[in-house]
Amino acid sequence: MKRVFLTVLDGAGVGYLPDAAQYGDVGSCTWGHVVDACAPKLPNMAKLGLGHIEGTHYSPDAAAVGAFGRAMEASAGKDTTTGHWELAGLKLEKPFPTFPEGFPTDFMARYEAAIGHKCIGNYPASGTAILDELGEEHMRNKTPIVYTSADSVFQIACHEDVFSREELYELCRIAREMLTGDLCVGRVIARPFVGTGKGAFTRTSGRRDFAVPPFGETLLDVVQAAGMESLGVGKIEDIFDQRGLTGSNHASGNPACIDAWMAYMRKSFTGLCFTNLVDTDSLYGHRNDAPGFARALEYFDQKLPEIQSLMTDEDLLIITADHGCDPCFPGTDHTREHIPLMVWHKGMKKLVDLGVRTTYADVAATCAEWLGLPERFGAASFADQLR
């Protein structure tokens, strides 16, 4: 009964990629800058090899046992969907489109006709700042707030007293169906909020992501087709548009997601449990909050011994990321970075250097081999190095 627990610390990159200049990200190093600025205490990840990973700027533990390394993104882009898909073995030849000037006027006119409401906004913005800018107008006129970012997203913010969550989700479903071809963004995101006015608006836990379905076969599909469990925690179900999953817990926030992950660990199954821990990205990276980012890393580190205690002799743990989101770098967007690899199972006796992998898809190849599946997704498994 073999299991793989694949966990993404969202946005926790470890140094800019060779092509980062194309994205304006030269100099970014999410983990390293957070460590330099805040000196978080991460002893349990250090025991797995954290300090040996270039770009973490963390002191190495000489007694560490585990496997460590970095991986480069072969796909174009630096968004959540692209990163997670490549981790699951699906590489993209071109990035999802972005809209730094907002979405085309003719599309917005068609969208407004489809939903029966005028929209306001339609420009790149911080998800919290735009509520102060447009929230009161939205409440007066029942006009959904549409905005985007440097990522490939179409975001809709609505006050929960103006549009119920289900009404907001329907607005997103309509947008998802209409955003095709050159407008095919990676995600349509529902952003419900509450509050009485400017300065008092806050987003709620009702966020939902409506992703475009994967363009090809992923690790999740392969695991499910083999008759194994393919479980998602957090926004995994959104990123993969529910595809390839036999079960999911759409928990919100890192503490709830870690609890949901450990609940799956207590069950007997064969297969994959894929967890996204989003707070480092959404709450702290995008808001330039390095201390918050550091606290989220510390919380995960504190839970790690309990997570390891729930593992069997046949389980594999992989801790990684999907891109960077450097809170100390100019701007509030994702950053084109290497991702860390920390890999562990109970039978490991020494520290193993996995080097720099040329694609995130090596993770999918390794998961498949560990589970006894033949697929390698055009990538190179490092499972042999773990033995």
Output the pLDDT for position 301.
98
Output the pLDDT for position 205.
87
Count of CB atoms situated within 10 Å of the CB of 226: 16
Based on the structure, what is the number of domains in the chain?
Answer: 2
Output the pLDDT for position 387.
87
User: Does the pLDDT at position 110 exceed 90?
Assistant: yes
Residue 221, both tokens: 């599909």
Q: Is 373 found in the same domain as 237?
A: yes
Q: Is 271 found in the same domain as 256?
A: yes
List the alpha helices (DSSP H) in the chain: 30-38, 43-46, 80-87, 105-115, 129-141, 165-178, 219-225, 236-239, 254-265, 279, 290-309, 362-370
Residue 16 DSSP code: B
Q: Is 196 found in the same domain as 299?
A: no
How confident is the model over 226-240, as a mean pLDDT? 96
Q: Is 341 found in the same domain as 281?
A: yes
Mean pLDDT of the chain: 96
User: Does the pLDDT at position 85 exceed 90?
Assistant: yes
Q: Is 219 found in the same domain as 284?
A: yes
How confident is the model over 197-216, as a mean pLDDT? 93
Q: Which of 245, 188, 196, 195 is nearest to 220 (CA)?
A: 245
Output the pLDDT for position 94.
87
Cα–Cα distance for residue pair 210/131, rounded to 1 Å? 21
Output the pLDDT for position 236.
96
Residue 211, both tokens: 């992703």
Q: What percent of the chain has pLDDT over 70?
A: 100
How confident is the model over 319-328, as a mean pLDDT? 98
Q: Is 252 found in the same domain as 207?
A: no
Q: Is 172 found in the same domain as 84?
A: no
User: Does the pLDDT at position 281 exceed 90?
Assistant: yes
Domain span at residue 283 reads 3-92+214-386
Count of CB atoms situated within 10 Å of the CB of 129: 11
Cα–Cα distance for residue pair 324/16, rounded to 1 Å? 8
Cα–Cα distance for residue pair 176/187, rounded to 1 Å? 8
24-45 residue pLDDT tens: 999 999 999 999 999 999 999 9
Output the pLDDT for position 149.
87
Let me know if residue 97 belongs to a domain. no
Q: Is 78 found in the same domain as 222?
A: yes
User: Does the pLDDT at position 321 exceed 90?
Assistant: yes
Whole-prediction pTM value?
0.91
Q: Is 156 found in the same domain as 133?
A: yes
Picking from 183, 211, 239, the residue at the C-terminal end of a domain is 211
- Amino acid 17 reads L
Let me know if residue 327 belongs to a domain. yes
Output the pLDDT for position 128.
84
Tell me, rounded to whole angstroms, the distance of Cα 148 from its chain centroid.
Answer: 17
User: Does the pLDDT at position 148 exceed 80?
Assistant: yes
Output the pLDDT for position 132.
96
Let me know if residue 184 belongs to a domain. yes
Residue 152, classified by CB atoms within 10 Å of its CB into exposed (0-12), middle (13-18) or buried (19+), is: buried
pLDDT band at 1 (very low <50, low <70, confident <90, very high): confident
Q: Is 80 found in the same domain as 113?
A: no
Q: Is 109 found in the same domain as 12?
A: no
Residue 154, both tokens: 């179409």
Conformation bin of residue 363: beta by default, left when phi > 0, alpha when psi is -120 to 50: alpha
Q: Is 147 found in the same domain as 247?
A: no
